[in-house]
């Protein structure tokens, strides 16, 4: 019996064609799979077109739609492949890692830097590798498959705008490589034995504030008024510039930390944060209940905070423990 794979299309460059206004999604998932006629020899593929959008327009509502279609078809298939635009693929992969937990079946996101119909393209190889990986019985959980690399969904980040090697795994090794149709595994996603769970209630009121030299505090009261989760992406190991320190501290004094959750995140991609190294960060952690992103990616922090805020957190300690609990290889220390 052939392995059954469900291919869900959402648009993106992989499915785009050149129009007078530029590249735009146009191809169906059937069109995409038709470029790989040999794959049907050992895999049974079912396709569905869910969206046909540029991934720049991807929203949490779209993530919920993807999650619902996977749950509706979960028992009928052995693996899932989501064709997705590259620009927000890391956000979607991270979001699905929290929305679909403990999956013994693989949920693979892939895309391309060049449309599949072009003579020179990475689309065929990426789609083929994704189907091969999703069809393997050792694959599980949410991953990105791109340029012959398998990346945990919580660790993927787009680091190049045009090169075929568009994605890297941040602060975590590649799970596997795929070469000439063969999977070479380096490490595996752990499965704790619990049943798969699907979560839809994400709290979208999360704001990512990037600190720059000379940043001014005027917007902080508005940010705290509107958003329930505030991620401050600071410099180096992590710290608060003097230019916003007083206003930030004043705002944090106004609110229950369970209702306005502040997370410190470094702008540096690799090696993570440690806000207690320097005075500018230790002063914050010594006076307030704050979370620290540590070695997590920005995409994982953003989507995990949305998930954490949606849970029934009865105390700060419960919220903190939920945030720091590793999920899908998202946190090492």
**H or E stretch covering 92:** helix 89-99
- Can you list the positions of beta strands (E) in 70-125? 79-83, 100-101, 106-110
Query: Catalytic one among 13, 86, 266, 303?
Result: 13
With a CB cutoff of 8 Å and minimum separation 6, the contacts of 163 are 113
Side-chain-facing half-sphere of 122: CA atoms under 13 Å: 22
DSSP, residue by residue, 120-159: S-SHHHHHHHHHHHHTSTT--EEEEEETTEEEETTTEEE-
Q: How big, in percent rounded to 5, are the helix, strand and coil portions of the chain?
A: 30, 25, 40
Q: Give CA torsion, residues 72, 61, 8, 23, to 10 deg.
A: 170
13 annotated active-site: yes
Q: How far apart are CA 234 and CA 266, in angstroms?
A: 5
Q: How far apart are CA 270 and CA 277, in angstroms?
A: 17
Question: Which residues are annotated as catalytic?
Answer: 13
């Amino acid at each position: 019996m052939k392995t059954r794979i469900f291919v869900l299309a959402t648009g993106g460059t992989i499915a785009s064609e050149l129009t007078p206004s530029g590249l735009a999604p146009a191809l169906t998932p059937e069109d995409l799979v038709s470029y790989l006629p040999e794959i049907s020899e050992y895999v049974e593929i079912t396709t569905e077109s869910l969206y046909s959008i540029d991934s720049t327009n991807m929203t949490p509502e779209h993530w919920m739609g993807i999650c619902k279609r996977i749950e509706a078809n979960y028992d009928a298939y052995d693996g899932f492949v989501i064709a997705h635009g590259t620009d927000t693929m890391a956000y979607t992969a991270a979001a699905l890692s929290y929305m679909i937990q403990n999956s013994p079946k693989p949920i693979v996101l892939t895309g391309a830097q060049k449309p599949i119909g072009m003579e020179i393209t990475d689309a065929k190889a990426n789609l083929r590798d994704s189907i091969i990986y999703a069809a393997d019985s050792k694959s599980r959980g949410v991953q990105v498959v791109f340029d012959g690399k398998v990346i945990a969904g919580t660790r993927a980040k787009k680091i190049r705008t045009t090169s075929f090697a568009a994605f890297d795994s941040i602060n975590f090794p590649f799970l596997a490589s795929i070469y000439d149709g063969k999977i070479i595994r380096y490490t595996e996603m752990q499965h704790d034995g619990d049943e798969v769970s699907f979560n839809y209630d994400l709290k979208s009121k999360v704001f990512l504030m990037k600190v720059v030299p000379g940043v001014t505090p005027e917007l902080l009261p508005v940010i705290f008024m509107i958003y329930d989760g505030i991620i401050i992406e600071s410099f180096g190991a992590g710290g608060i510039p003097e230019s916003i320190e007083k206003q930030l501290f004043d705002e944090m004094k106004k609110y229950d930390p369970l209702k306005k959750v502040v997370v410190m995140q470094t702008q540096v991609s690799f090696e993570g944060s440690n806000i207690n190294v320097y005075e500018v960060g230790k002063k914050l952690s010594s006076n307030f209940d704050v979370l620290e992103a540590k070695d997590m990616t920005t995409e994982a922090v953003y989507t995990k905070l949305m998930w954490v805020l949606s849970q029934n957190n009865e105390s700060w300690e419960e919220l903190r423990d939920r945030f720091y609990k590793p999920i899908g290889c998202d946190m090492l220390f």
